[in-house]
Structure formats: C-alpha cells, structure tokens
Amino acid sequence: MQPLAHELFPTPDILDAFRRCTHLPGCLMLDSAMQVQSSAEQPLGRYSFLMADPFEWIVCPVGQADPLRPVRERLQAYQLETIEGLPPFQGGIAGLLSYDLNRSFESITPQGHDEFRLPALAVGCYDVVIAWDHQQNRSWIFSSGFPASTVAERTRLASVRSNQFEKTITSRNREPVVTTVRDRRPPIPVANQFEVPGPLGLTSNFSAAQYLAAVQKCIDYIYAGDVFQINLAQRLLFPANCPAAELYERLRQCNPAPFSGYFDLKRSTDTGPHLQIVSASPERFIAVRGRVVETRPIKGTRRRTGTPLVDIHAKTELENSVKDRAENTMIVDLMRNDLSRCCTDDSIEVTQLCELEQYQSVLHLVSAVQGKLKPECDLVDLIEAVFPGGSITGAPKVRSMEIIAELEPNVRGAYCGALGYFGFNGNADFSILIRTITVAGGWWQIPVGGGIVSQSIPTSEYDETWTKAAGMLRALNTE
C-alpha cells in the first residue's frame, strides 16, 4: 500500500512551517538549506523533510547490545510502496544515531567524562512527513496511516493525520506558536574547561597546548604503525542564550549546508530538560535509493574569506595538497572495504574522487563511493557494517576509535554520529553530524576536529579546527 500523498498549494515557506511545528514532540527537520554542485547528475540538497509527533519512540542507552533490533522489527512491520517521482522519504523511522553507538558494535573503552548522558540511539516512527522538492518548488504531505493495521483503518487515520498537519502549517487563523523555550536552570557542571579565543564565555575541553600534544600523540601512533589516520576533536562549550529553534535559524543563515538538520528529542511524556541537535552538516554519511548505496566522505578543508584572489589561492592549494588527498583517499579505501561487507563485490565503485566543493565558510575535498546491497542485507545490516563513518574516525577504524577514546576527554555524543531516516519504503539517508551543536544542560556543545596523518603539523591541525568552527561561532552572536 502506498502512503496518502497530498500536494500543498501554494508551496509553504519551509521556515514558517518549521516554526509552526517546533512545539510538537519529536520535531525533526532534515533541511537542504543549501544546494551544492557536484559531479552527480543532480546537485546535493534537492529535498527537505519536516516531521513531528511520532507514533512511537525507540531510545537505547549507550552500550546496549543489538540496539538496532527494534528498528529492524518496525521496518519489517511497517512497509510502504514508494510513490515514484516524488521525494524519496514518505514516512519511516528517523532521528539520531549517536557516535557512542559504536560501543554496541565494538569493544571501545569509554572516555572519562559523560556529563550530558545522551542515548546511543533516539528515533521516532513518523507516520506523517512534509516534503519539499526545491528543484521544482513543490511540496507534499505524506501520511501512511501507521500504526493502524487494516487497509480501512490506515486509510482513515492517514486522512485524519494529513489534515491535522496541513492545518498546523497553513492555517492563517491559528495562534502564533511559541518555540521550544530555553531551559532556564543554571548550566550543569562540566569537566575541566579552558578559556579560548572567541565569544565571551567560550571554552574548550583542551587548552591549546594540550591539543597540540594530543595531535603529536596521534602522529606518534601513526609512525609506530598503529594507524594511518586519526580524527581528533576538541569540544567547545558556550552557555545557551536562546531557544534551540532560534539557534537553528541563526546557524542556517550563517552556515547553510545541504544536510542541515534540527531534532528535538523531547517526547510528550518527558519531564526533564530539553535536548536538541542543531546541525549544518555538509557531509552525507550513507544514502540508499532502490538498494543503491552512496557514501560521500569529506577530507581536506580550507577557509573561504570572500575575497576572490585569496579564495582562488585556497582552492589551488587544496586541490594540489598531497597531505589532504592522502587523507581523503585513505578514507575512500576504508569506505570501500566497509561497503563490501553488505554490497555485492562487482557493484562497488568510486564515482567521485577528491573533487572540490564550495560551502559558505569553507572549501572541501569530497569523494563518493557507491555499491548495491546484497539481496540478503537490509538497511540495519548496512548501518552495522559502516557505522560510524570512516571520515570521522580514521583508518583502521577500530584502532582509531580506541585512540580517540584515549585522547579525547569527553564522550562525543551526537557529534560524528548521524542524523537521518530509514524509510518504510526501503530508502534511507543520513548525514554525519559535523558542524553540529548539541543543546543540553544549559550548554551549547560545539565539537570540531580534523584528520591527523603522518604529514600533519600540530599547529596547522589546531588552526583547522577553528576554520571549521567559524560558521557555527557566528551563530552564537546575539546582536
């Protein structure tokens, strides 16, 4: 059975629709805030999706065995036929896969500090999805009628829920929506933090000297033969000063990206403080369309200044950087190996290698690897084979994650995890949560990092973290 699909006339403004849904539990927006030209037939960032009020939540703590089993069970229980020619997500399971989900798949010793206690997995089962096709400037509401089981019940429920959401986002007579309020209790205590340059109140879990020493330790591990590459990050903290939805709109304006997103983990039965994910990610982790899988690792970064001659020099430097190309190709090989665990051998190919892509604040080298799922593998098998992404761990992956846990003082939480969806129709799309702010405990957490290889210079690696932070730090400005 296909979902009920209703086109919206006129096409609603995406930010207006978002504002009208932020009061609902589980509000999730997967937002193509920027289109990026690539070697693909279509530019990245064609579709956006908005959803809220899931009919079921699946939440798993860090370290739980077989955490994706409930996801697989729901995907088997709730199946949809795709309406071809329309946006690919038409209802499904969507939300957060924390970086610390890795501890369910590998024996990784946890870091010393975990102040915010994010779950390893927090996803909702969404029966209604509002979708935009930015290329055609059209929008639809999809409504599946789940969890009803009979055709008649599903048809009735799909219509009721579709009408409910259409009224929410289009009614001119409804009361203005109050966005999710900021938790006004004092920020929770955090582990050792160090003042760093930037907005007043910004701190890091590394001093500059400590970060340089950690980079050098990574280089030592590389020369000792433990690894070829390690992704190391520092966690910046800033006191929250506005609702998370407002922060998202600021970030969307300052640093638009093709895989932007907002996720409120607040459930209707929760009584504790809110926890939200606010992201401007440029990186696709994994996507599936018709059982064809794509991953798009990013390695290699330069800052954009807006000055043409300076940016031209940065482009030339990045494209010709032996060190950055080495970083990128190592991760391409790692992702080819990961995909081979669940894709047919003859289907895996590199469709884009170290191509330069331009974003608001930075330039990146981006590659793309594709494969086709084996007949016996499903979406959960795929995630278990490739999670977390190689571009934010290193190579070999398991040893890199062990070194990350040794050198980084705090758990990563949402950072370097994934945000996206498993469609009831078999499609999927997840971003990697870089350029991401986690709102929790009265703090904005802003981790930034980069890949360390044998040619790395510690001061340059430290500077690169601030290049990546620049767009997010602009969003902190309250003026």
Residue 176 has pLDDT above 80, yes or no: no
Residue 324 has pLDDT above 80, yes or no: yes
Decide if 283 is catalytic.
yes
pLDDT in tens, 2-48: 999 999 999 999 999 999 999 999 999 999 988 776 655 556 889 99
Cα–Cα dist 58/79, whole Å: 17
Q: Which of 357, 349, 346, 370 is nearest to 287 (CA)?
A: 370
DSSP state of 101: G
Higher pLDDT among residues 81 and 174, named by residue = 81
Q: What is the pLDDT of residue 41?
A: 54
Where is average pLDDT lowest: 12-16, 204-208, 269-273, 394-398?
A: 269-273
Residue 463 has pLDDT above 70, yes or no: yes
Instruction: Let me know: does 177 contact 163? Beta carbons within 8 Å.
Output: no
Pairing of strands 121-126, 259-264: unpaired
Cα–Cα dist 349/370, whole Å: 5
**For residue 154, what pLDDT band results from cuts at 50, 70 and 90?**
very high
Active-site residue identified among 246, 249, 266, 299: 299
Active-site residue identified among 249, 283, 402, 464: 283
Mean pLDDT comparison of 32-41, 133-142, 359-368, highest-scoring range: 133-142
**For residue 259, what pLDDT band results from cuts at 50, 70 and 90?**
very high
Q: pLDDT exceeding 70 applies to what percent of the chain? A: 94
| Helix residue spans in 53-206 (DSSP H) | 69-77, 102-105, 151-170
Q: What is the pLDDT of residue 210?
A: 97
Residue 377 has pLDDT above 90, yes or no: yes
Does residue 15 sit in helix, strand or coil?
helix
Residue 84 has pLDDT above 90, yes or no: yes
Decide if 299 is catalytic.
yes
Q: What is the pLDDT of residue 44?
A: 83
Where is average pLDDT lowest: 120-129, 321-330, 406-415?
A: 321-330
**For residue 179, what pLDDT band results from cuts at 50, 70 and 90?**
low
**48 is written with which tokens?**
């956006």
Average pLDDT value for residue range 221-234: 97
Q: What is the pLDDT of residue 272?
A: 52
For the entire predicted model, the pTM comes to: 0.95
Instruction: Please give the mean pLDDT across all residues of the chain.
Output: 92
**394 is written with which tokens?**
């290193």
